[in-house]
Structure 1
């Protein structure tokens, strides 16, 4: 009896050992599969993050990059044009005695031509071949008008996000589990990520209305536009406060009806919501795109407004 019992216990131990080895092997393969899948997912997330980061660097904040380039070009062009005109007048007065002056005049003209070409490239307009001071004035006016619009109407990214969770349009609601209209873009971002105003304006509301949007900031902009930044962790502006494009107004969070930290961003015109995507992509180089992409806004009447009605020579 004792020998039989020892044999049974030894056999059971072997069975348990085999079972342990099998479970360990299965666990090993499952762990490795999960590790590979997680690594792939992290690589995709990192790639998405890098792409959004590149977009952020290109479009977020004020148009300071364009404005600084424009200011530098304007100063340089004005100085070169002034020197060229002065030297040209001296050459006319002195005749052929100013051979060196003629050489200098050629250098200044070449500099002016190159700078005007650079300004045309910045504005993404067709090269005209006209390198006159009048062309400089026309291009400078065009750039200033574009910057005025880009500071008045929402454009660029409101946050440096990891990725876009949901775009504008019909979707399955993550909480109510039914198809509803999603009236903005959801940017996935860690709690506490800075949120920026996408245009100059005045804060209409900052706080929590208890309407599901959680802590939110609503900003009134020029020409009847409005932006909404929702599910925030906190705000850094208050109602009635004036804000400028690129100003930090809040930090992202997970307040209201939300399943994770993100920013819900809306663009509205009067009483209607608009797809924010064309406005996010809008900048000084593709300036005319917004007028054909967003057809629900009556853009044509803008031409009668000052300073947009100032004459620009083609």
Structure 2
């Protein structure tokens, strides 16, 4: 008996049977199976494609955001490069200005070194090193100029008598004059020629000095200011260079208004003339002209940059 495939179709009007040949039935079954498989594969591919499209869209959005970020970063880099360019231009201008100022400073420094008697080779050290040495030399000189008497103690008309042997105007005998006499009107201000302390202030009986101020300075120096009309400082007080300490007069053994001024080293009178001329521009002269002072030991403490103190 031949095999037949019977399909039963049920509708509202009843059932109906359809007889198919076996080969045709296999073909129909295969078609149905393939259709079902195709349906599921198509749905799976559609879902996967949809997911891939979503991923692509998200990737596209991320790339777009990164692109926008890169554009912003690029604009920032361009702005920073412009600022750097402007800064470099400013630095170049500043460098040129500093170079010009350094030339001016170098010229001024060379003049100051010459004035101070410093012989430095510009090629052997930097500008900063030269400046440091010059500052040290200036501080050293200012200290010594404030410690050792220098300059004139009074604005005088003239010098009546200098240091040395002379005929005494009162005693009428030849006698050593240990200072200098500056002719000046009564009441002319008298100034300290260095920093110090007042060792004596008042009338010195039996000395012939009359009203007298004695200042004790650094390094063993003293100054005497005699024949004063009035003293303005008290014993034991400190005074600074240029401070008014008295008024000139005619007290003591004197024939007219004047100031008798002495410079002493360890009680030994010295010629005041080199001290009157001594200053920053003639700094080395004192150490060669005043031989009574052992400048060698002072030079060991403060190098004096002069041949006479070797």
* Cα deviation, residue 124, structure 1: 4.3
Q: Secondary structure at the match of 2:102?
A: helix
* Cα deviation, residue 121, structure 1: 4.3
TM-score calculated relative to the size of structure 2: 0.65
Pairing of 1:144-163 with structure 2 (within 5 A) = 144-163=139-158
The alignment of Structure 1 onto Structure 2 pairs a total of residues equal to 216
Gaps of 5+ in 2: 1-86, 306-310
Corresponding position of 1:200: 195
Gaps of 5+ in 1: 1-93
Is residue 134 of structure 2 the alignment partner of residue 139 of structure 1?
Answer: yes
Q: Secondary structure at the match of 1:265?
A: strand
TM-score calculated relative to the size of structure 1: 0.64
Pairing of 1:120-135 with structure 2 (within 5 A) = 120-126=113-119, 128-130=121-123, 132-135=127-130
Pairing of 1:156-175 with structure 2 (within 5 A) = 156-175=151-170
Corresponding position of 2:106: 113
Corresponding position of 2:7: none
What is the root-mean-square deviation of aligned Cα atoms in Å? Answer: 2.3
1:244 to 235, 240, 250: 240
Of structures 1 and 2, the one with the larger relative CO (CA 8 A, separation 6+) is: 1
2:224 to 224, 228, 231: 228
Pairing of 1:1-314 with structure 2 (within 5 A) = 99-126=92-119, 128-130=121-123, 132-210=127-205, 211-305=207-301, 308=302
Q: Secondary structure at the match of 1:285?
A: coil
Q: Runs ≥4 in structure 1, deviation > 6 angstroms?
A: 94-97
The answer to whether the 8 A contact 1:116-1:136 is kept is yes
The answer to whether the 8 A contact 2:230-2:247 is kept is yes
Distance 2:268 2:96 in 1: 61
Name the structure with the higher strand share.
2
Q: Secondary structure at the match of 1:103?
A: helix
